[in-house]
Structure 1
């Protein structure tokens, strides 16, 4: 009887260990990414904060920003652009594929080509075909990491590899042929993507840099219109 109990107990421990997945919710990494993409594609708006690490002191680079994205193709916020070691805050509005910025020392907005400032069209960030959710859809080698809490909310980490060209089209890259490492934090209850940390050749082809994108306020009441230009 004691031997039987010991075998049953050992079996229970093995089964529980197999289900725990190192602390994850039991949902596969692929399913979590799919749920996060579906949730993001259904959001009418979101607030984002972008930070970076590893930018050199030369060149024109996007190093950070904050703002609101509204579906289908609008953005309003402040993007931090570094030029020759000096960081400037650009007030940026994007509506329907046209990007406007209030450049330093100018009183009104001008239509700009965002590529000249080191970034793509921020209005496209919620586009299901080319925006943030494509990072989730085209992630490769996805694996569950640790389960964590962010501001009291349970999130599951998913690590993955991303095609370099995909990230280059969304943000930037000095070598799109290189794979980008990604770490996603996904709220297990809501499926909302809370954070995406990307590591790759963003600033130079030889050295890795990091972009961290944080999302919140899904579905908030946001209304973005094109600004008057001078």
Structure 2
């Protein structure tokens, strides 16, 4: 009939079937934008590192957690996890799980300068110790957190991220594991480079997380992962030496069980 619009032609079919695809593309674009975050205002990574180094050197205390996966059992610091506080520059108190006498045991650790103490349930008292995490190495700008940040090689462009709900800029790079000796105890072969990812707070420039993958201590493999988180910066911390047993047993020494 004259004047009637053709609703069965090919153009009608193309127009109708294109609607779902247009909607799908729009939905995908919105989803990618929501998931990817806005990196258009990401800072220069080298300036970000400098700011983080300056910020961590002003901190008087912080809480830390360390989780280590697939570590060597004969490492100098065979700690699989730790949770505690550091009072800059030389005090530390933590509860840790460590490979001790061939088994994974929970221990309590206190370090004040070069005086180190450990509490094992099997011993029932605090004992003097050696080979524990030295808080001075973590606070020293040449060996600690600041040095780790400053020696990251080929850092990537920062991307939007968060650690435990705290907004931060994440970037990755490579690191000579000798700068991790304050955390791992050292022992990686010369020339080793580990993969490292860190996240720097957007509001305070402080390092919230450092994740190290690779060989950083004796017995590690390329599947060894250490996650070091920092929080509660500048909060009040009071760390004191424990009471030592009047007649201590042989001091626990967390050192390799095999000859390096």
The RMSD of aligned alpha carbons is: 2.2
- Pick the aligned partner of 1:223 from 238, 247, 255: 238
Structure 1 pair 226/82, CA: closer, same or farther in 2 (3 Å)? same
C-alpha distance in 2 between matches for 1:24 and 1:139: 23
Q: How does 1:1-230 map to 2 (within 5 A)?
A: 23=39, 25-55=41-71, 58-59=73-74, 61-83=78-100, 86-114=103-131, 119-177=132-190, 178-201=192-215, 202=217, 204=219, 206-230=221-245
Contact (CA 8 Å) 1:25, 1:156: kept in 2 or not?
no
Structure 1 pair 185/221, CA: closer, same or farther in 2 (3 Å)? same
C-alpha distance in 1 between matches for 2:155 and 2:218: 25
- Which of 143-152 and 213-222 deviates more? 143-152
Structure 1 pair 167/149, CA: closer, same or farther in 2 (3 Å)? closer
Deviation at 1:196, TM superposition (A): 0.3
Deviation at 1:174, TM superposition (A): 4.3
Q: Which has the higher strand share?
A: 1
Q: How many residues align?
A: 204
Q: Which runs of 5+ in 2 are unaligned?
A: 1-37, 246-260
Q: Which runs of 5+ in 1 are unaligned?
A: 1-21
- Which of 158-167 and 185-194 deviates more? 158-167
In the TM superposition, structure 1's runs of 4+ consecutive aligned residues that sit over 4 Å from their partners are none
Contact (CA 8 Å) 2:171, 2:199: kept in 1 or not?
yes
C-alpha distance in 2 between matches for 1:40 and 1:213: 14
Structure 1 pair 83/206, CA: closer, same or farther in 2 (3 Å)? same
Match of residue 7 from structure 1: none
Q: TM-score, normalised by structure 2?
A: 0.71
C-alpha distance in 2 between matches for 1:101 and 1:125: 19
C-alpha distance in 2 between matches for 1:159 and 1:70: 28
Between Structure 1 and Structure 2, whose CA radius of gyration is higher? 2
Deviation at 1:204, TM superposition (A): 2.4
Q: TM-score, normalised by structure 1?
A: 0.80
Does the residue aligned with 2:157 lie in a helix, a strand or coil? strand
Does the residue aligned with 2:82 lie in a helix, a strand or coil? strand
